[in-house]
Amino acid sequence: MYKDFFGFKQPPFPITPNPNFFYLSSEHLEALDHLIYGINNGEGFLLLVGGIGTGKTTISRVLLEKLGDNLKTSLILNPFINELEFLQTILWDFGLIPEDNSKKSLLDQLNDFLLHDVAAKGKRALLIIDEAQNLGLDILEQVRILSNLETNKEKLLQILLIGQEELYFKLQLPELRQLNQRISVRYYLKPLKKKEVAEYIYHRINKGEPAVEIKFSKKAIKRIYKFSGGIPRVINMLCDRALLAAFVQEKTSISPVMVKKAEKSLRGENFDELDKEQEKRGLFKKIFKRKKAREMKNEFNL
């Protein structure tokens, strides 16, 4: 692997949401500001929506680090669960052992905990649900019920829903109108801006602590921006492959040709013929331009 060639202490472009690699782009900063303000302000319902790979999960990790000890949190990462499992997971996350397996008793237990161990002690409790676009209507109804837990002064449980764009549209369904109306803080996370892409790349390279100086040419960066549309996860995948291409050539400067190689390898080498065929028909360009980011996502199950 190229790690040794460049002398990286850590791989710079893993696709896991690691808060240590966090780059504070204008979008990420604004999203965090909104969420931190909302949570500190005791808002009951918050929403973070964004395309695949834009950094939503990463933001939730950074958020948890920033909010500190006075906040009890439960994090639901897999929304393909039933109502009982949903409530049980929340209890476990808060350090409770579910006493009974009826919805009512789980809710009572949670309410009791939130009243006596959280609110009474001046603490807060936050439930974060990631990939919330996949939540079934039954769980969303449960979420609404949870948002009813309150004293006459404040919400007992703050809820942050995180999801892809579908979540935003799902929340507009008539069945979910009540829930949607309760969301008081919303943020739509967009990809990195063109001028941030180079900074992002060097930020991650530096976090990897290479032993040599690594340079991306301006054209290489431009190409990365074009292909990725500024989506961090796609940038990571491209840079990872581009570094591999550089390593193969024993170079420490990344050229546009290496990025092109990376694009090819991401799309699958032997699809070239098919691409050419399409191009001949004049279709490819049109479709590719419009759906570039979407295709990447589907192809790699991002």
- State the residues that interact with Mg ion by CB under 5 A: 57
Residue (49 or 107) nearer to ligand ADP, CB: 49
Residue (56 or 155) nearer to ligand ADP, CB: 56
Residue (11 or 98) nearer to ligand ADP, CB: 11
Rounded to a whole number of angstroms, the minimum distance from the CB of residue 41 to Mg ion is 25
Among Mg ion, ligand ADP, none, partner that 158 touches (CB below 5 to 8 angstroms by kind): none
Contact 186, 51 (CB under 8 A): no
Rounded to a whole number of angstroms, the minimum distance from the CB of residue 130 to Mg ion is 6
By beta carbon distance, the residue nearest Mg ion is 57
Contact 119, 151 (CB under 8 A): yes
Residue 94 falls in which region: left (phi positive, over 0), alpha (psi -120 to 50) or beta:
alpha
Rounded to a whole number of angstroms, the minimum distance from the CB of residue 298 to Mg ion is 16
Contact 201, 224 (CB under 8 A): yes
Q: Which two tokens stand for residue 155?
A: 């919400």
Residue (130 or 263) nearer to Mg ion, CB: 130
What's the residue count for the chain?
302
Contact 48, 189 (CB under 8 A): yes
Residue (190 or 292) nearer to ligand ADP, CB: 190
Distance in angstroms (rounded) separating the CA atoms of residues 233 and 245? 19
Among Mg ion, ligand ADP, none, partner that 58 touches (CB below 5 to 8 angstroms by kind): ligand ADP
Residue (57 or 109) nearer to Mg ion, CB: 57
Distance in angstroms (rounded) separating the CA atoms of residues 224 and 240? 11
DSSP state of 212: S
Among ligand ADP, Mg ion, none, partner that 25 touches (CB below 5 to 8 angstroms by kind): ligand ADP
Among ligand ADP, Mg ion, none, partner that 18 touches (CB below 5 to 8 angstroms by kind): ligand ADP
Footprint of ligand ADP (CB under 6 A): 15-18, 21-23, 25, 28, 50, 52-58, 232-233, 236
Q: Which two tokens stand for residue 19?
A: 């808060």
The sign of the torsion formed by the CA atoms of 102, 147, 37, 134 equals: positive
Residue 145: C-alpha distances to residues 87, 157, 212 (Å): 11, 11, 55
Rounded to a whole number of angstroms, the minimum distance from the CB of residue 215 to ligand ADP is 20
